[in-house]
Chains A and B, each alone.
Chain A
Amino acid sequence: MTNILEALEWLLTADAWSGPGGLWVRSLEHLGYTLIALGISAVIALPLGLAIGHTRKGRGIAIVATGAARALPTLGLLTLVALFTGIGLTAPMVALVVLAAPSVLAGAYAGVESVNQATVDAARAQGMSGWQVLTRVEIPLGLPLILSGLRLAALQIIATATLAAYVGAGGLGRQLFLGLQTYDYSVMLGASLVVILLAILVDAAFGLTQRLLRRVPGLAGPGTAPGTGTRSRRVRANMTAN
């Protein structure tokens, strides 16, 4: 417990936060990495996942890919890429995207699949084209699960971005490894607490967004209609299982 107090004491000193290597700069770096990696993952995995969900093709491959990505050790991927690309941001970005993209993908196809088939059929019967069905029915109704996928990906990225410093990039991992190398436990612990706080804040921000979106009429409405509740729960369970 005294360790925690010492770490908090360190966190309360102005020196810890200011300067080019201070916690503010490192936190912003950390968030920056997270945004970039999440953006790249979304650009790659969202269209793919939506296509899989819409056409119901390639689901088997997606499940295998997401399962394999879960088994892949982050640190191994990171150090392997770093040996080829050298010190810097490339290796962490590759590792972050490889780890986060499957979550986004799973969320996207699970989201589209969770939409009540009757609703999709009704949209078709009204004369909507495939594209219209996707953009006006499947995406808005599948949004909760699509966002869950992005949320999971964001958490994985924040956690893994801590390791970026191990291969010479920045982020909050810098302070953490500095503390480790200099046997300064309070610095290590202080930096760890900031990472944990950052992760919880980002998670809460996603939670809040999801809650607010649930109130928008027309979003996720029929998904909660009687009879579809268990189905979407099952889909969600599958998503985490994959």
Chain B
Amino acid sequence: MNWILDNLPRIGELTLAHLALSLPAVIIAFVLSIPLAWGANRVRALREPVLTGTGLLYAVPSLPLFILLPALIGTSVRDPLNVVIALSIFGLALMVRSAAEALDAVTDDVRTSATAIGFSGVGRFFTVELPLAGPALLAGVRVVCVSSISLVSVSAVLGVSSLGSLFTDGFARNIIGSIVAGILMTVVLALICDLLLVLAGRMLMPWQHSRRRRPLLARAREVAA
């Protein structure tokens, strides 16, 4: 406990480094997954290859990928960029499938109605399909966010600074407080980011929480199914 109090500045510093590695990866994964998922749904022949391909990426273990990337993109082994790219790949592997399924779940009736009242293809996608797929997309991003934050730590064994450095230092110098602080901060960080995502979801999708319309929507969905 004393160790934690004595090292608060270092813990804060490492927390920021941790965020700098994980958040860009989450954003990249999310932004890239939408066009990929859209394309996979649009061109049916591509759907299975894209989904299986990205699924296979998820089977690649993180530490070996951190080591493989330098050979592919010419960075050094201790470059934080490897971690960001590797985590983006993992995030993408998870996110493409959920995005494809989320966009696919928008019923044809809705699409046809939107076209009938004059939406163009692009306009329909951004104003109708994307918002309707929103809740499922949010669920996907939440998973990616939490798992990215916990995965970053592994890169500490290669010497990349993050909360994971508290584990390697603590193990090397036999300081339990350091490891406990690292675990606690990682979990707290994951919880805070998750909570922020939920709040952002409520702000962007207020219709999800208006109680009067919810049962009606649910009923409409049942009838449609």
Shortest A98–chain B CB gap in Å is 12
B139 interface residue per 8 A CB criterion: yes
Shortest B135–chain A CB gap in Å is 11
B79 interface residue per 8 A CB criterion: no
Instruction: State the interface size on chain B (CB cutoff 8 A).
Output: 51
A-B contact pairs, 7 of them (CB 8 A): A4-B71, A79-B168, A158-B61, A159-B61, A166-B157, A188-B77, A196-B65
Which of A73, A82, A83, A180 is in CB contact (< 8 Å) with B158? A180
A241 interface residue per 8 A CB criterion: yes
Chain A residue nearest to B61 in the complex (CB)? A159
CA–CA, A75 and B171, complex, Å: 10
Interface pair B142/A241, CB less than 8 Å apart: yes
A: which residues have CB within 8 A of B? 1, 3-4, 7, 67-68, 70-80, 82-83, 155, 158-160, 162-163, 166-167, 173, 176-177, 180, 185, 188-189, 191-193, 195-196, 199-200, 203, 227, 230, 233, 237, 240-241
Interface pair A163/B68, CB less than 8 Å apart: no
Interface pair B150/A70, CB less than 8 Å apart: yes
Interface pair A7/B71, CB less than 8 Å apart: yes
Which of B62, B140, B174, B225 is in CB contact (< 8 Å) with A83? B174
Given known pairs A83-B179, A237-B101, the reply for A71 and B68 (CB within 8 Å) is: no
Given known pairs A4-B71, A176-B64, A195-B64, the reply for A73 and B59 (CB within 8 Å) is: no
Chain B residues closer than 8 Å to A79, beta-carbon distance = 167-168, 170-171, 179
Interface pair B60/A72, CB less than 8 Å apart: no
Interface pair B61/A195, CB less than 8 Å apart: yes
Could you mark each residue 21-35 of chain B with 1 if its beta carbon is under 8 Å from any beta carbon of chain A, else 0? 000000000000000
Given known pairs A76-B179, A196-B65, the reply for A71 and B190 (CB within 8 Å) is: yes
B67 interface residue per 8 A CB criterion: yes
